[in-house]
C-alpha cells in the first residue's frame, strides 16, 4: 500500500512507519443481513394480513404464495438499497477517521508499495473526503502538464463532476466552489471565471489523478501540487460566504482507505464504483480490477 500524507507536505523529523493493514472481518455483510431481515419482516406481515383479508384463513396456498412473493420483493428491495446504505456507512466512517476537507497526497507507487505489481498506468492521487453540511468549500488549482483529471463523488459513490486536461489548457488556474444541497449560489462571493458545483449530498470525495511515467515525473508533479493546489473551507459565520477560514487539520488516511476497499469487496451488488474509488486512493487499482471485472468498464467513465 502506498503511504498517504497531508498536502501540502510538511517536514517530518523522523521517518513515518508504514501503516498497518486493517485486520478482522468486514461488517458490511452483517449490516446487509440486518437490513434484509428488517425489510423482510414488515413486508411479510403486511402481505399475510392482505392474504387473510382477501382469501380467507383456510386457503393455505394463497398464503404460501403471499409469503414467497413477500420474500422475493423484500430481497430485491434490500439488494437495491444495500448499495446506498453500505456506501453511506463507509463514507461516514472514512470522514470520521481521515479528517474531512483536507487534501491528502499519495506517493508514487513502486513494486514494494503495490499489492499487485503491474497497474497501468502509474498515477499520483490527491484525495479529500469533504463535508459541506456547514459551509461550502473553495478548491483552487493550476492545470498541470500531461494527463490529469479531477472527479467528485457523492455519498453513494456516483460521479457528479468531472474536470480534466481536455477542458483546461496547461497552466490555467481554475477555482471551484463546492456547495452543499442546502446552500444557495447567491450566498457565495465568486471570483471571475470560478465554477460553482452543487453537491447532491453533504458528504463525498474529491479525487485528482495525474499520470506519472517515472519517479522523476512524480517528483515534479508533487512539487506542482504543493505549490498550486489548495482546499479551503469558507467561513459560515458571515454571510455571504466571502471570508476564508483556517484549513482543517489533516491525517493519514491510508489505513482507513485500505479498510474501505476491503469492506467494499464484501458487497457483491453495485459496489464496483466504491471499490474503484477506494482502491485508486491507495494505488491498488489492479487489485480492485482483479476482484471485479466491471471496473474495467467503469474506469473510463470516472477518469
pLDDT digits (tens, 9 = 90+) for 235-267: 644 344 333 333 333 333 444 444 444 444 443
Q: 172 or 121: whose pLDDT is higher?
A: 172
> Is the entire prediction scored with pTM above 0.85?
no
- Per cent of the chain over pLDDT 90 is 7
Neighbours of 178 (CB within 10 A): 25
Of 66, 87, 108, which residue sits at a domain end?
A: 87
Q: 149 or 21: whose pLDDT is higher?
A: 149
Residues 61 and 191 in one domain: no
- The answer to whether residue 17 is domain-embedded is no
Residues 116 and 209 in one domain: yes
How far apart CA 23 and CA 198 sit, in angstroms, is: 37
- The answer to whether residue 270 is domain-embedded is yes
Residues 150 and 54 in one domain: no
Of 87, 116, 137, which residue sits at a domain end?
A: 87
Element (H, E) at 207: strand 203-211
Residues 70 and 140 in one domain: no
Q: 178: which strand partners?
A: 137, 197
Q: 200 or 281: whose pLDDT is higher?
A: 200
Range of the domain at 221: 4-9+97-302
Q: What is the mean pLDDT of residues 273-292?
A: 35
- The answer to whether residue 16 is domain-embedded is no
How far apart CA 214 and CA 123 sit, in angstroms, is: 10
Residues 202 and 70 in one domain: no
Give CA torsion, residues 139, 277, 32, 27, to 10 deg. Answer: -90
Of 65, 87, 109, which residue sits at a domain end?
A: 87
Q: Which residue has the cell 467513465?
A: 301
How far apart CA 161 and CA 187 sit, in angstroms, is: 21
Distances (CA, A) of 120 to 55, 116, 283, 289: 62, 11, 10, 11
Residues 81 and 199 in one domain: no
Residues 143 and 263 in one domain: yes
- The answer to whether residue 92 is domain-embedded is no
Question: In the prediction, which pLDDT does 116 show?
Answer: 53
- The answer to whether residue 14 is domain-embedded is no
Question: In the prediction, which pLDDT does 95 show?
Answer: 64
- The answer to whether residue 22 is domain-embedded is no
Q: 5 or 94: whose pLDDT is higher?
A: 94
Residues 47 and 191 in one domain: no
Alpha-carbon 70 to chain mean position: 34
Phi and psi for 173 in degrees, rounded to 5? -80, 135
Residues 214 and 261 in one domain: yes
How far apart CA 201 and CA 155 sit, in angstroms, is: 6
- The answer to whether residue 15 is domain-embedded is no
Alpha-carbon 248 to chain mean position: 19
Q: Domain tally for the chain? A: 2
Residues 66 and 131 in one domain: no
Residues 60 and 152 in one domain: no
Residues 229 and 190 in one domain: yes
- The answer to whether residue 219 is domain-embedded is yes
Q: Is 21 helix (H, G, I), strand (E, B) or coil?
A: coil
pLDDT digits (tens, 9 = 90+) for 268-277: 333 344 433 4
| Predicted confidence band of residue 178 (pLDDT cuts 50, 70, 90) | very high
By C-alpha distance, which of 243, 278, 272 is closest to 258? 278
- For the chain, the average pLDDT equals 66
Contacts of 136 (CB under 8 A, 6+ apart): 177, 178, 179, 180, 183, 187, 188, 233, 234, 241
| Predicted confidence band of residue 59 (pLDDT cuts 50, 70, 90) | low
Amino acid at each position: 500500500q502506498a503511504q498517504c500524507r497531508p498536502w501540502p507536505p510538511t517536514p517530518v523529523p523522523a521517518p513515518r512507519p508504514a501503516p498497518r493493514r486493517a485486520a478482522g472481518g468486514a461488517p458490511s455483510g452483517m449490516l446487509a443481513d440486518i437490513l434484509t431481515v428488517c425489510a423482510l419482516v414488515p413486508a411479510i406481515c403486511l402481505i399475510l394480513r392482505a392474504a387473510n383479508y382477501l382469501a380467507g384463513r383456510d386457503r393455505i396456498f394463497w398464503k404460501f404464495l403471499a409469503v414467497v412473493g413477500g420474500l422475493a420483493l423484500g430481497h430485491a428491495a434490500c439488494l437495491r438499497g444495500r448499495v446506498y446504505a453500505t456506501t453511506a456507512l463507509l463514507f461516514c466512517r472514512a470522514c470520521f477517521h481521515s479528517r474531512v476537507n483536507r487534501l491528502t497526497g499519495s506517493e508514487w507507487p513502486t513494486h514494494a508499495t503495490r499489492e499487485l505489481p503491474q497497474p497501468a498506468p502509474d498515477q499520483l492521487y490527491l484525495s479529500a473526503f469533504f463535508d459541506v453540511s456547514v459551509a461550502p468549500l473553495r478548491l483552487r488549482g493550476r492545470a498541470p502538464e500531461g494527463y490529469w483529471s479531477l472527479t467528485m463523488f457523492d455519498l453513494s459513490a456516483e460521479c457528479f463532476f468531472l474536470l480534466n486536461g481536455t477542458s483546461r489548457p496547461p497552466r490555467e488556474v481554475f477555482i471551484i466552489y463546492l456547495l452543499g444541497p442546502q446552500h444557495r449560489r447567491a450566498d457565495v462571493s465568486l471570483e471571475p471565471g470560478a465554477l460553482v458545483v452543487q453537491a447532491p449530498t453533504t458528504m463525498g470525495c474529491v479525487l485528482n489523478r495525474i499520470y506519472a511515467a517515472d519517479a522523476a515525473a512524480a517528483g515534479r508533479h508533487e512539487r506542482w501540487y504543493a505549490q498550486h493546489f489548495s482546499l479551503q473551507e469558507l467561513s459560515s459565520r458571515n454571510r455571504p460566504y466571502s471570508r476564508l477560514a483556517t484549513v482543517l487539520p489533516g491525517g493519514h488516511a491510508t489505513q482507513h482507505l485500505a479498510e474501505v476497499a476491503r469492506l467494499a469487496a464484501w458487497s457483491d451488488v453495485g459496489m464496483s464504483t466504491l471499490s474503484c474509488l477506494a482502491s485508486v486512493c491507495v494505488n491498488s487499482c489492479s487489485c480492485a480490477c482483479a476482484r471485479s471485472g466491471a471496473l474495467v468498464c467503469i474506469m473510463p467513465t470516472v477518469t
